[in-house]
Amino acid sequence: MALRSVSALVLDGLAVFEFGVICEVFGIDRSADGVPNFDFKVCGPEPAKPLRTAVGATIIPDHGLDDLIGADLVAIPAIGGSGYSPDALDAVRRAADSGAIILTVCSGAFVAGAAGLLDGRPCTTHWMHADRLAAMYPTAKVDRNVLFVDDGDLITSAGTAAGIDACLHLVRRELGSEVTNKIARRMVVPPQRDGGQRQYIDQPIPVRCSERFAPHLDWILTNLDKPHTVGTLAKRAHMSARTFARRFVEETGRTPMQWVTDQRVLFARRLLEESTLDIDHIAEQSGFGNATLLRHHFRRVIGVTPSDYRRRFACADSDSAATA
């Protein structure tokens, strides 16, 4: 579908940052940068009636709930409490039934749940609320370990800034990498932080990685094409293999070779998007050595083959990419 119209739902208890994320991605005119404008509407139970936010300020929507119906995307930010307006829930259901994509940020998943949209479906929310969401909607398949979950016409994000990842992912899915990159550049955020096609798992260098360990990860990232083992990496770090492996898991949450493989996949993904190199050369440059191994790990992490991914997300000229 073409993503042209976006309606954001606001209710009492609105969280302003999560609402701001939706506004930042979909509500700002970036046509001067070559980004198509969205028909963006802020919708509440009663137009022109102030709604309380979670920080002691109010917001006044210009549009009513009827403007949710017919929108290509209905975006639901985090909203505190649980006494959601029955009319709002009905409007969300009607919007979904009419073909809208429903996107929730953080605890906005509870609004989707109250509207009956999470039943039997994979989803996520902030890790602090994940157990409660699973308890309230026992048929929902709540994943606590991802930044967001893409289930087609339902996209749910984890806490706060993960909403940026979910919104940019949707733009990428519907409008392509070039538009996404332009929006992300203006927002000064990475266009995509993670890997996976339906469920995007965060795999960059850990934010809290210690200063002493970070140089080891930096070196690996600039030498992904070289063969690596735990033994060779440990030797370079002047540690025993056992100590290095233990420290690596403490710093990254992954074993050394798991982390290296994932970073190779992420690098291969960038080459698929940004270059017209053939699969064999991408396999060499990313450290897999051969196309068969690249395809195996790429499909495991991203969920599609490298060729399928390139056809959908390549920024390079499509004819050149297809030839490659």
pLDDT at 310: 86
> How many Å apart are CA 284 and CA 265, to the nearest integer?
12
Domains and CATH numbers, the chain: 5-202 (3.40.50.880), 206-324 (1.10.10.60)
CB neighbours of residue 238 within 10 Å: 8
Tokens of 290: 């051969």
Q: Scanning the structure block, which residue is given the tokens 């927002």?
A: 187
Q: What is the mean pLDDT of residues 263-270?
A: 90
Q: For residue 319, name the pLDDT band (cuts at 50, 70, 90).
A: very low
Q: For residue 189, name the pLDDT band (cuts at 50, 70, 90).
A: confident
Residue 150, SS3?
strand
Q: What is the pTM of this model?
A: 0.64
Residue 54, SS3?
coil
CB–CB of 10/42 below 8 Å?
yes
Tokens of 257: 């070779």
Q: For residue 200, name the pLDDT band (cuts at 50, 70, 90).
A: very low
Please tell me the total number of residues recorded for the chain in this structure.
324
- Lowest-confidence pick of 54-63, 202-211, 216-225: 202-211
pLDDT at 193: 59
User: Residue 211, exposed/middle/buried by CB under 10 A (0-12, 13-18, 19+)?
Assistant: exposed
Q: Is the pLDDT higher at 292 or at 318?
A: 292
Report percent pLDDT > 70 for the chain.
Answer: 91
137 to 100, 130, 151: CA distances (angstroms): 22, 11, 17
Report percent pLDDT > 90 for the chain.
Answer: 69
Residue 56: in which H helix or E strand, if any?
Answer: none
Q: What is the mean pLDDT of residues 294-303?
A: 88
User: Residue 210, exposed/middle/buried by CB under 10 A (0-12, 13-18, 19+)?
Assistant: exposed
CB–CB of 197/149 below 8 Å?
no
First to last CA, the chain: 27
pLDDT at 160: 83
| 81 has a pLDDT exceeding 90 | no
